[in-house]
Amino acid sequence: MKIGIVGKGGVGKTTTSSLLARVLVSRGRRVLAVDTDSNPNLGLSLGLSPEATETLAPIPRSMVVGQRGDMTVAELMEDFSVATPEGVALMSALRVDEAGAGCTCGGHASVKSLLGQALQSETDDTIIDMEAGIEHLSRAGGTLANADVLILMMEPSRKAVITAQRTIGLAKELGIERWIGVGNKVDSGDARQAIEELCQHHDVPLDVVIPSTADIVAADRRGEPLDRSIAPDVWDAVEKLVDSLGLEAVSVS
């Protein structure tokens, strides 16, 4: 399954992408995570050191799968992905290292092309941790046009829910027929009521709610993965999110 994680800035896309990837791996699935942030940090949440995360080579802008007939997806992953300590293969699609570096359209074209390929030989699920906003859906052809499902990340705020509402409209235009609404950073009963009411008012689904905990904040502050032995309510919510994807079971040897 090709899964796009989308939402406004600061709603927790990268953290949720890492948790989702780890739960999928725990169920025996082969997972590729693609970081499309121009300042990539997904590697930290998957157990890579800051140095390894910083030196992960992004897919060159000139190298779009399908434009080179001699490059397979397997070769692309071999050259530009790294195995993380959490068992997830990680690729970086974008990086901006200097001011005035120009447009990142090449990286987005690579992501769109990668999602259009037959990835089954190398991975069961591909998670795209998208940069903030909705531009990647409104670009010519749409970066996530080949995604099977979008996970709409929202915090309990009107701006976050409206972004999700706009995302649904763009997804429909691209022919994407599935999306899952996820409320994140819900730290109280009042916050849960607020996001429920906002989603109902803006006709946005709220399928899963991930609570806010000091453990996630502390792990993010340290730049480390969230330990599986803590924050059980968070892990239960992510397990529910994986269940909602409707994936086929994989035997874990």
Instruction: Evaluate whether 195 touches 206 at the Cβ level (below 8 Å).
Output: yes
Work out the percent of the chain whose per-residue pLDDT is above 90.
59
pLDDT in tens, 32-83: 999 987 677 899 999 999 999 888 887 766 555 445 545 677 877 888 889 9
Inform me whether the pLDDT recorded for 207 exceeds 90. Answer: yes
Which of these ranges, 7-11, 138-142, 163-167, has the smallest mean pLDDT?
A: 138-142
Helix (H) or strand (E) holding 180: strand 179-186
Query: What pTM was computed for the model?
Result: 0.87
Instruction: Give the distance between the most distant pair of CA atoms in the chain.
Output: 56
Calculate mean pLDDT across residues 3-24. Answer: 95
Rounded distance between C-alpha atoms, residue 86 and residue 67, angstroms = 32
Q: What domains sit in the chain, N to C, each tagged with a CATH number? A: 2-244 (3.40.50.300)
pLDDT, position 57: 81
Rounded distance between C-alpha atoms, residue 195 and residue 206, angstroms = 8
Average of per-residue pLDDT values in the chain:
84
Matching residue, tokens 């499902």: 149
Matching residue, tokens 């235009």: 173
Calculate mean pLDDT across residues 84-90. Answer: 96
Inform me whether the pLDDT recorded for 247 exceeds 90. Answer: no
Inform me whether the pLDDT recorded for 96 exceeds 90. Answer: no
